[in-house]
C-alpha cells in the first residue's frame, strides 16, 4: 500500500462525509417540513432556509464520482453496475427534490403547492434511507465474483445471510438510522436558521428525534458487530478510529447539551461532528476495503488492488486542492451572504 493510495482512500472518505453532513441537513429539513411548517408562509420559510445551499451541497456528490473515476475506477464501475437500480432511484429522488423546489411557486394555487410540497417531503425522506442502505451494503458485503463484478436486485430473501438483495432487514435498519440521524440534523439546522413557530416545532422535533437516533445507532452497531465482527476488531486496534469514535460520541452529546442551552449554531455543528466522526470511524475500520466481498474476502476491491496507476493518482493531486478550496470557498460565501434567520420571501420564489 503506497502513501498515494492511502491518501486517495482518505480523500474519498472525506468527500463522502462532507456530502452527508451538508446535503444531510437539507434532506432532514425537507423530510420534516410538512411537520414543522403548517402554512404556506412557513413552508416557504423552510425552503428559504435551505434554498441557497441544496444545489451547492450536491456538488460534493459529483466530487465523489470524480474521485472514484480518477483513483478507483474499478470500484466505480462495479458499484454502478451492481447497484444500478438503487442508484437510479437515488438520482430520481434528487431530481424530484429539485423539481419540487423550483415548481411549487410557479402557480399561486393551494392544490399545486400542496402536491409539490408532498413530493419534496417524500423525496427528502427516501434519500437518507437509500444512502443508509448503500452504507449497509458496503458493511455487509456484496456478492463479488472472481472478476470483481456483482449484480443485486432490490430485494431477495430479505436476509443478510441469505440470497442478497440491495434491501434486507439489516440494510433497512441502517437506512432507518440514517433517516433518524439526518432528520435530527435537519431539525437542528432549522432551529438555527428559522424563527417563530417553525423554530419552536423544529426544537420539539429535535428533542423527540434524539432518543430514536441513539436507539437506532445502538441497534445498527450491535447487528453490524454480529454480521461483520472483523470490523470492530479493526476499530479496537487502530488509534485513529478511537479519535473518530470520540468525535462522534462528543458530537452526539454536544448536540443535546447545546440545544438545551440555546446554542443553536453549536448544536448544529455538533450534529455535523457526530456524522463526520461516525463515517470516519467506519472508513478507518473497513480500510483497505472499498467494496467488500461477503463470502470471499480475498475478492474484495481494496484501495491497493483497485487503484489507478501511481502516475494518474499523482496527476490528480494537481487539480484536487484547487477544486476543494473552490468548493469550500463557495460554501463559506453562501453562509456569509445568507447569515441570519431565513424569512419567507414576498412575491414569486420559494
Mean per-residue pLDDT pooled into runs of 10, the chain (350 residues):
89 96 96 95 94 92 93 94 92 95 88 95 97 95 92 91 93 98 98 96 98 98 92 89 96 97 97 97 95 90 93 90 91 92 71
Q: What are phi and psi of 292, to 5 degrees?
A: -85, 130
Q: Which residues contact 273 (CB under 8 A, 6 or more apart)?
A: 247, 248, 250, 251, 254
Tens-digit pLDDT profile for residues 89-135: 999 999 999 999 989 988 888 899 999 999 999 999 999 999 999 99
pTM of the model: 0.96
Tens-digit pLDDT profile for residues 281-325: 999 999 999 999 988 888 999 999 999 999 999 999 988 889 899
Chain-centre distance for alpha carbon 215? 19
Residue 158's DSSP bridge partners are: none
Name which of 66, 65, 75, 226 is nearest 139 in CA terms.
Answer: 226
Amino acid at each position: 500500500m503506497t502513501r498515494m493510495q492511502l491518501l486517495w482512500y482518505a480523500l474519498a472518505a472525506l468527500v463522502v462525509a462532507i456530502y452527508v453532513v451538508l446535503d444531510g441537513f437539507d434532506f432532514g429539513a425537507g423530510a420534516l417540513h410538512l411537520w414543522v411548517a403548517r402554512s404556506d408562509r412557513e413552508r416557504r420559510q423552510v425552503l428559504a432556509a435551505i434554498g441557497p445551499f441544496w444545489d451547492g451541497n450536491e456538488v460534493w456528490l459529483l466530487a465523489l464520482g470524480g474521485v472514484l473515476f480518477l483513483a478507483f475506477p474499478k470500484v466505480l464501475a462495479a458499484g454502478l453496475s451492481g447497484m444500478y437500480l438503487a442508484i437510479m432511484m437515488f438520482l430520481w429522488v434528487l431530481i424530484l427534490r429539485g423539481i419540487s423546489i423550483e415548481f411549487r411557486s410557479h402557480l399561486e394555487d393551494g392544490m399545486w403547492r400542496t402536491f409539490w410540497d408532498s413530493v419534496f417531503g417524500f423525496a427528502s425522506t427516501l434519500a437518507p434511507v437509500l444512502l443508509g442502505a448503500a452504507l449497509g451494503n458496503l458493511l455487509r458485503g456484496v456478492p463479488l465474483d472472481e472478476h470483481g463484478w456483482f449484480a443485486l436486485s432490490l430485494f431477495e430473501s430479505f436476509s443478510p445471510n441469505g440470497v442478497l438483495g440491495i434491501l434486507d432487514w439489516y440494510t433497512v435498519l441502517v437506512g432507518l438510522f440514517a433517516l433518524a440521524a439526518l432528520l435530527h440534523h435537519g431539525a437542528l439546522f432549522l432551529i438555527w436558521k428559522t424563527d417563530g413557530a417553525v423554530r419552536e416545532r423544529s426544537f420539539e422535533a429535535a428533542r423527540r428525534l434524539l432518543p430514536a437516533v441513539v436507539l437506532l445507532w445502538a441497534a445498527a452497531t450491535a447487528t453490524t458487530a454480529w454480521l461483520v465482527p472483523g470490523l470492530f476488531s479493526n476499530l479496537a486496534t487502530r488509534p485513529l478510529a478511537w479519535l473518530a469514535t470520540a468525535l462522534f460520541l462528543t458530537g452526539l452529546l454536544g448536540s443535546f447539551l447545546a440545544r438545551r442551552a440555546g446554542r443553536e449554531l453549536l448544536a448544529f455543528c455538533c450534529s455535523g461532528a457526530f456524522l463526520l466522526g461516525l463515517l470516519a470511524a467506519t472508513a478507518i475500520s473497513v480500510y483497505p476495503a472499498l467494496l467488500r466481498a461477503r463470502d470471499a474476502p480475498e475478492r474484495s476491491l481494496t484501495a491497493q488492488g483497485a487503484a489507478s496507476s501511481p502516475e494518474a493518482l499523482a496527476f490528480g493531486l494537481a487539480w484536487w486542492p484547487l477544486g476543494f478550496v473552490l468548493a469550500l470557498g463557495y460554501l463559506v460565501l453562501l453562509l456569509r451572504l445568507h447569515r441570519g434567520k431565513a424569512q419567507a420571501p414576498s412575491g414569486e420564489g420559494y
